[in-house]
Structures are given as C-alpha cells and as structure tokens.
Amino acid sequence: MSTANHLLAAALVLACSSASAARTDITIGMQLEPPNLDPTGAAAAAIDEVVYANIFEGLTRFLPDGSVAPALASSWEVSEDGLQYSFTLRTGVSFHDGTGFDADDVVFSLDRARAEDSTNAQKGLFAGIDSVEATDPATVVVTLSQANGALPFNLAWGDAVIVAPESIEQAKTAPVGTGPFVFSKWVQGDQVEIVRNPDYWGEPAQLEKATFKFISEPTAAFAALMAGDVDAFPVYPAPENLPQLDADPRFSVVLGSTEGETILSINNKLAPFDNKLVRQAVAHAIDRSAIIDGAMFGYGTPIGSHFAPHHPAYLDLTGNSPYDPERARALLAEAGLADGFETTLKLPPPSYARRGGEIIAAQLREVGIKVEISNLEWAQWLEQVFRGKDYGLTIVSHTEPMDIGIYANPEYYFQYDNAELQQLMVDLEATAEDDARSEILQQAQTIISEDYVNGYLFQLAKTGVANAKISGLWENAPTQANDLTKVFWQD
Amino acid sequence: MLRYAVRRLLSLSLTLLVASLVIFVAIEIVPGDPAAYMLGMNAAPDTVAALRAELGLDVGPVQRYLNWLGGMLSGDFGTSYTYRTPVVDMIGDRLMISLPLALYALTLSTLIAFPAGIIAATRRGSAADVSVMGVTQLGVAIPNFWFAMLLVLVFAINLRWFSAGGFPGWDQGLLAGIKALTLPAIALALPQASILARVMRSSLLDTLDEDFIRTARAKGLSTRQTLWRHALRNALIPVLTIIGLQFSFLLAGAIIIENVFFLPGLGRLVFQSISQRDLIVVESVVMLLVFAVVVVTFLVDLAYAAVDPRLRRTN
C-alpha cells in the first residue's frame, strides 16, 4: 500500500467517525413564547416548558411518570404529627453564576413565594406553611400549620423552584438556577438558547446545546418540521397532520397524556343550572366520542369526573353520563323545562374549545337547549368568566396536576358548594398515607361525577412529534415541561 | 417650499397628539387585566393586586396617559408588562426585522413594477402589454399568505434552499439575515408589484395622451426622450402615493406573512401584546406606526412638491 493509499484510508476513517458521531444539539419547537423566564412570578406554561428541570430545580421534582422524586433535597423526614418536614439538602451544588447553594437559598425562595406581596401564580401551594428555617447549611425544616401530605408534591411544581437572592433580579430575562443547563441567550420573539452546565452536581446532560424556537402558526410548525428547522415539537399544535407525520419514517409521533381535564364548565349558581336535573341533562346530551373525533381528530381519553386517567387513584366514571339524548329530554321535562331554555357558551381561544364548542352547541340543541356562542380572548375570558362568573357554559382544560381541590372552593368560577366534598379535601390534606389518600380521592371523584357539577369531556392528549433518532423526551406531561436531561441522538 | 414644509409639519404634530389620545382611550376601554392574564387561573386576588401595584396599574387613567405622553416625549416608552423589558428596546429589536423586510419588499416591487408598467404603457396592446396585465391581474388576486406557503413548500420543504422561517439575527452575518428575509420579501412584493405596475401603466397612458406630449413630439423630441423627460415625471404622482401607502402597510401589515415565516417582526409584537393585554406595548407600537404613516405621508407630500412645481406655490 502506498503512502497515498494510507492517507486516503486515514481520511476515510476520520470522515466515517465524524459522520457517525451523534449530534449534540437540538431545536425544540414550541407554540407559545414565554413572557419571561421566571417560573415563580407568572402562570404561563411556556415558562416551565423552557426552564423546568433544565435551568431551575426545586427541593423535589416530577419524574416523567408523574411521581415525585428528590432533587435539591436528597431526602426528607416527616415528624409524627405530620407538621414538620426536615429536608436534607445536597451539598456541593452551586448556581450557574458560581454562588453556592445552601439552606439559606431555600429559606429565601420559599419565604419569597409565600410573602404578603408575592406575585407567585400558585401561592396556594405554600398556604399551609407556618415557617421555614435553616437549622444548618444542609438542613431546612418546614413547619406546617396543619398536616399536609402533599407537601413534597407541591414543592415539585415549577412555581416552587429554588432561586438565589443574588440573581433573582435578573431571573425574568437571564435566569440563574442550579440545573443541568445554563441560560445562554434569548432572541425575543424567536428563540431561547441553553447550553450544558459543565459543573452540574448530578449526571450531566448529553446534549451540549438546546434551542427553543417559538412558532405560533400550526402550518408554519408543520413546514419547520418538514424543512428540518426544528427537531421536535413536544406539543404539536396541528393534530390533523399527525397521520401524515406518523407515516414519514423521519419522524416519530408520540401520544401521551397530560394533566388537562377538558370540561364543559357549568355555572352551578345560575338558574336553571342550580338544578341538578338540568346539569345531568346536559351531561347526557353530550356525545364525548363525537367531540374527541371532531375537535381533536380522535386524540383524547373520555373522562367521567375531574381526574387524570393515568393516575393510580383514577376511577372510570364515564358510565354515570353516557350519551342519551332521550334521557336528557326526559330530565329537562322533569325539571319543568320541557321546552328547553337558552344559555351562553363562552369559548376561550384553544382549538379544543372553539371546535368542541360548535359540536357541543349542536348536541345541546338536539335536546332543546339553545346556546349562544361567543368567542373570547384569554384576557376577556379571565375577566368575564373566571373572575366575573358571567356565563352559563364554557369549555376549558384544567391543566394543573391533582387539582380536584378546586371543587372545595365555593368561590371558584363554577360556584359549586358542597360541604361533604369540602370536608373530604380537608381530610385529604391531613392524610400522608398513599392508600388512604387514594380512598379519599376516589370518593371525591364519585361525588362530583354524581352531582354532575360539570360536563366531563376528555383528558387532553399530548401529541408530540420528533425526529425518529431522538430519545429521552417525555412521553406524558405530568407537569408542563420539556426536561432535556436525558435526551440524546441515536447514532 | 419652506413655508409649505412648515405648514405640513405643524399639522403633523397636531395629528400625532390627537392620535395619541384616541389610541390611549381606545385601548384603555378594552376589557381584560394584564396582571390577571399573567397569573392565570390559580392566582389569589391579593397576588393579582400585588402585581398590579408592581406594574404601576394602580394609578388613575389620566395620570397614566400623562406619564405615557411625557415619557414618549423624552424617549422613554415605558416597560412592557409581560416581558418586563423597556418597550423601546423591544420595538427596536422588532424594527431591525420589519424595517429591512419592508424596504426589501418595496425595492423588489419597485424593481419589478417600473419596467413592467413602462413597457406595458409604451407598447400598448402588444403581447408584452397583454402578458403584464395578465400576470399582474393574477398577482393582485392571489392572497399573499397562500403564495407564501407555496414558496415554503417549494423552496424550503422540497428544494431545501431556504429555512421554512425564523430569523437568525443580524449578528449571524448580513447574508444570513438577507437570506432569511428573501422568501417573505418575495411573498410581500408580488401583490404590491402587481398593483404598482398597473398604476404605473395607466398613469403613464393618461400622461402620454396629454397635449404637452404631442407638443414635445412636434418640436422634434424622440419617443424615448419624450418618455424620460416629460411623461414619466408627470406620471409619477399617483405612483408615489401608492408607494407611500404600501410602505406604511408593509411596516406592520406584514403580520400574516410574519406568522407564516415565524418572523419576530412588529406586526406579531402587536398581535401578541393585544392578546396578553400588554397595553403599554400596544399603545407605543400603534403610536409609532401612526408616526411612521404621518412621516411617510409628509415625505410623499414633499416628493410631490419636488415633482410638481405647482404644489410649491402657496397662497
């Protein structure tokens, strides 16, 4: 073999090895851009979809299956009476700006979140906390005013992440956390870029760089995927394209579940909906499968109560409200409304509401309920429906995990007031043991289902599309996040 | 000419003041609270109140109008409610895309429309005229977003010559920036060029029928000399009006094209801010657009005066 041949062979080997080395960057498409990057000061899901588990971490965290695992706290102990949680913190952890992480940061973060002038969108998570104390640099003791078995769960939310007093001022535009990725840049209106944290305390991420690109238009999202501008769209906005993408070997379509119970909310105080017979009639007038097919292109799991089907304590209660227009008409007649009645249906912008609304309006018309549809923007919806309670019916997906507790609040926008359920929720807070909690949760599901508080439609599906070579993206969405810690490209 | 300019400048300032009042009142009466929007469904009422105070929304509307007006006069447009960054910076960033895009599209449309219009007018009834009229008819009729999607399908998805959209930022180089704006600029330019070419043609035809053209020909000028020295200059007035209108439109009216190509331009900023009730951004951007329209109209007026000496004579 001549020297030239040797060189050629060496060059070939080099070319092959560089060609087969897996990519270490990824571009993730998202429909909405986060308004800012501080998860402790606004409700927008898009914030968590960028920063959760990537930039910021809490004492505990959600795993892809929805269970709660240790994060910045390596372990915790609960006192006999359930009032004191003692968290042991990881040592050797530092924030991205080089400042150390210790118990003082935890006290700062939790006190800030529950303070009088706090702007935390989920302040309720911290409501039962009486005091937070650092007993030594690696130990934090949280004292509760009453036992709350859900504390580790509450602290896993994005709104409860640990921030540092040194860097909180810049969190909205250049967040500093403890996570496996470091914020790099934000081109507003276009993209956020994060890079691997070389000093991460845990197992380092496999990706070196990740870019979140914001594409609001469903057609543009499709084009961006097809042209290779984005590698994955974890919550793909146009379900109508999914069959086409699924058939394309370049992509894999992943269907998972979310925490989004999509319901036809009913104003329980507004006549005639204050009559249970009328609410039951509405429930029987609804054909869930027609709505799932028509509004969601078949993606979605029917539900019969306000609870996520993938949760261990779930009870399938769809049998309480099968599609039965005859029965619905009979129930209306029994309620003295044989000629039907008129009401309003106010719809927020998501397509599940706008498309679903048209179908539901037609179904209700079949049994004699005439609805007047009005389409609202989110800001208007919050003002009129959510705060003003000026509505008859509305459709919305409740995306917070484990939010059945909203039924215990008579001031909540569906204005449901039931002492029995309120007591159950008090009991739930005081219960730490899993089986007992499941028991209570099942009773609560049954009560609201049999009271026909709302029309229960379907659990929102998570329809993700990704390059077929990407592994490690979350299949389900136990919280709204794009955790990239375990994501990698296959060779 | 100077008195003409001063008079126009005065009426311009008055227009702006009236516009600021109209914009503020119109936007303030829209229902929806930016703080409630940001905090979502689980927020406690006292949390919303705390955020309102932090955003400076707890003072009266008159005070807020005066603060806003005073701020604008000193170049401070306030801070965005949602993004918490100065509105000036946000608008500046978006203008870095919208302004070059508008200029790019306008240049393309002018480069296409002028020759097409002139050829069609001078060779009236010829095959060239018929094809210009046919193609421009089509150009006016095709919705630009549909044409944009067609461009994406062909040049981004099938040929992969361009990205399907997005903007890499000017720090990635002039060429990368221009490349990213090329498909959107073409999509915007097609209908504009069609309209402009038709206006150019009919205006030139009208002028060519005038008596002074016959006189010019009679005194021995060639067709070409008559066209360049006399006809074109007189035919330009309606064309300039259209160019002025098109530029103002392109600055913020490109929103549909911005959505198709997911470009972070001014149009999308307004759209986003309206749905997020980021009122201060909406007010400032709309004010800026009014300012741009008024200034462009002013410049077009000056250009008329330059083209047509009769407009300079004031009495």
Residue numbers of B between 124 and 163 with CB closer than 8 Å to A: 149, 152-153, 156-157, 160, 163
Specify the residue for token string 């996040």.
Answer: A481
SS (H, E, C) B86-113: EHHHHHHHHHHHHHHHHHHHHHHHHHHH
Q: Does B264 touch chain A (CB under 8 A)?
A: yes
Structure token pair of residue A403: 């939010």
With beta carbons under 8 A apart, name residues in chain B contacting A403.
42
Residue B6: HSE in the Cβ half-sphere, 13 Å Cα cutoff: 4
Q: Does B91 touch chain A (CB under 8 A)?
A: no
Determine the Cα–Cα distance for residues A97 and A107; give it in Å rounded to an integer. Answer: 19
The ipTM estimated for the assembled molecules is: 0.78
Nearest C-alpha in B relative to A37:
B83
Summarised one tens digit per residue, pLDDT across range A103-130 is: 999 999 999 999 988 889 888 899 889 9
Summarised one tens digit per residue, pLDDT across range B19-32 is: 899 988 888 777 77
Angle of helix B174-208 relative to helix B232-253, nearest 10 degrees, comes to 140
Contact B110, A62 (CB under 8 A): no
Mean pLDDT of A298-325: 93
> From the CA of B258, how many Å to the nearest CA of chain A?
10
Q: Does B183 touch chain A (CB under 8 A)?
A: no
Contact A359, A290 (CB under 8 A): yes
Summarised one tens digit per residue, pLDDT across range A143-161 is: 999 888 889 999 999 999 9
Contact B187, B101 (CB under 8 A): no
Q: Does B54 touch chain A (CB under 8 A)?
A: yes
Determine the Cα–Cα distance for residues A52 and A44; give it in Å rounded to an integer. Answer: 12
Determine the Cα–Cα distance for residues A181 and A51; give it in Å rounded to an integer. Answer: 9
Assign B231 a pLDDT band (cuts: 50, 70, 90).
confident
Q: How does DSSP assign A273-293, residue by residue?
A: TTSHHHHHHHHHH--HHHHHH
With beta carbons under 8 A apart, name residues in chain B contacting A118.
47, 50
With beta carbons under 8 A apart, name residues in chain A contacting B274.
377
Candidates A30, A172, A190, partner chain B, best to mutate (most B CBs within 10 A): A190
Q: Does B41 touch chain A (CB under 8 A)?
A: yes
CA angle A458, A461, A467 (to 5 degrees): 170
Q: Which residues pair with A100 in a beta bridge?
A: A94
Nearest C-alpha in B relative to A185:
B169
B54/A122 touch (CB, cutoff 8 Å), yes or no: no
Cα dihedral across residues B186, B189, B195, B201: positive or negative = negative
Q: Higher confidence at residue B48 or residue A54?
A: A54
Q: Does B92 touch chain A (CB under 8 A)?
A: no
Assign A12 a pLDDT band (cuts: 50, 70, 90).
very low
Percentage of chain A beyond pLDDT 70 is: 96
CA angle B184, B190, B196 (to 5 degrees): 130
The pLDDT assigned to A73 comes to 96
B264/A120 touch (CB, cutoff 8 Å), yes or no: no
Determine the Cα–Cα distance for residues A281 and A271; give it in Å rounded to an integer. Answer: 14
The pLDDT assigned to A17 comes to 44
With beta carbons under 8 A apart, name residues in chain B contacting A121.
38-40, 42-43, 47
Least confident of A264-268, A480-484, B85-89: B85-89
A380/B32 touch (CB, cutoff 8 Å), yes or no: yes
Q: How does DSSP assign A116-164, residue by residue?
A: TT---TTGGGGTTEEEEEEEETTEEEEEESS--TTHHHHTTSGGG----
Candidates B29, B39, B57, partner chain A, best to mutate (most A CBs within 10 A): B39
DSSP 8-class letter at A170 = G
Determine the Cα–Cα distance for residues A256 and B30; give it in Å rounded to an integer. Answer: 38
Q: What structural domains and CATH numbers belong to chain B? A: 2-73 (no CATH), 88-314 (1.10.3720.10)
Summarised one tens digit per residue, pLDDT across range A78-109 is: 998 889 999 999 999 999 999 999 999 999 99
Q: Does B169 touch chain A (CB under 8 A)?
A: yes
A220/B37 touch (CB, cutoff 8 Å), yes or no: no
- Cα distances (angstroms) measured from residue A471 to each of A214, A233, B109: 22, 13, 47
A219/B149 touch (CB, cutoff 8 Å), yes or no: yes
Of A173, A213, A377, the CB nearest to B166: A213
Least confident of A206-215, A295-304, B124-133, B294-303: B294-303
Helix (H/G/I), strand (E/B), else coil: A268 = coil
B42/A121 touch (CB, cutoff 8 Å), yes or no: yes
Least confident of A259-268, B113-122, B271-280: B271-280
Determine the Cα–Cα distance for residues A114 and A120; give it in Å rounded to an integer. Answer: 8
Q: Which helix (H) or strand (E) holds A29?
A: strand A25-30
Radius of gyration for the alpha carbons in chain B, expressed in angstroms and rounded: 24
Structure token pair of residue A279: 């609410």
Q: Higher confidence at residue B289 or residue A145?
A: A145
The pLDDT assigned to B315 comes to 42
Least confident of A5-9, B10-14, B162-166: A5-9
With beta carbons under 8 A apart, name residues in chain B contacting A214.
262
Contact A395, A381 (CB under 8 A): no
Determine the Cα–Cα distance for residues A180 and A182; give it in Å rounded to an integer. Answer: 7
> From the CA of B248, how many Å to the nearest CA of chain A?
22
Summarised one tens digit per residue, pLDDT across range B189-230 is: 999 999 999 999 999 999 888 888 888 888 888 888 888 888
Mean pLDDT of A418-432: 90
Candidates A377, A386, A414, A479, partner chain B, best to mutate (most B CBs within 10 A): A377
Q: Does B245 touch chain A (CB under 8 A)?
A: no
Of A120, A124, A227, the CB nearest to B164: A227
Q: How many CB atoms lie within 10 A of CB B259?
A: 21
Residue A440 has pLDDT above 70, yes or no: yes
Nearest C-alpha in B relative to A224:
B164
A190/B269 touch (CB, cutoff 8 Å), yes or no: no
A377/B268 touch (CB, cutoff 8 Å), yes or no: no
A227/B160 touch (CB, cutoff 8 Å), yes or no: yes
Summarised one tens digit per residue, pLDDT across range A463-475 is: 999 999 999 999 8
Burial of A352 from C-beta contacts in 10 A (0-12 / 13-18 / 19+): buried
Burial B88-120 (b: 16+ CB within 10 A, else e): bebbebbbbbbbbbbebbbebbbebbbebbbbb
Burial of B168 from C-beta contacts in 10 A (0-12 / 13-18 / 19+): middle
B262/A190 touch (CB, cutoff 8 Å), yes or no: yes
- The identity of residue B127, as a single letter, is A
Nearest C-alpha in A relative to B155:
A227
The pLDDT assigned to B271 comes to 84
Q: Does B297 touch chain A (CB under 8 A)?
A: no
Burial of A359 from C-beta contacts in 10 A (0-12 / 13-18 / 19+): middle
Residue A1 has pLDDT above 50, yes or no: no
Of B32, B263, B269, the CB nearest to A379: B32
With beta carbons under 8 A apart, name residues in chain B contacting A383.
31-33, 36
- Cα distances (angstroms) measured from residue B295 to each of A129, A278, B199, B229: 58, 61, 23, 29
Summarised one tens digit per residue, pLDDT across range B49-107 is: 888 888 878 888 888 888 888 888 888 888 888 888 889 988 898 889 999 999 999 99
Q: What structural domains and CATH numbers belong to chain A? A: 25-31+173-256+462-489 (3.40.190.10), 57-165 (3.90.76.10), 258-461 (3.10.105.10)
With beta carbons under 8 A apart, name residues in chain B contacting A120.
47
- Which residues in A234-389 belong to E strands, given as ranges? 251-266, 301-302, 341-347, 369-375
DSSP 8-class letter at B230 = I
Least confident of A233-242, A368-377, B253-262: B253-262
Q: Higher confidence at residue B90 or residue A491?
A: B90
Residue B277 has pLDDT above 50, yes or no: yes
- The identity of residue A442, as a single letter, is Q
Q: Does B55 touch chain A (CB under 8 A)?
A: no
The span from the first CA to the last CA of chain B, in angstroms, equals 12
Residue A20 has pLDDT above 70, yes or no: no
Average per-residue pLDDT in chain A?
A: 91
Summarised one tens digit per residue, pLDDT across range A21-53 is: 789 999 999 998 888 899 998 888 889 999 999
Of B85, B157, B259, the CB nearest to A173: B85
Listed residue (A260, A249, A299, A219) closest to A466, CA to CA: A249
DSSP 8-class letter at A410 = T
Q: Which helix (H) or strand (E) holds B207?
A: helix B174-208
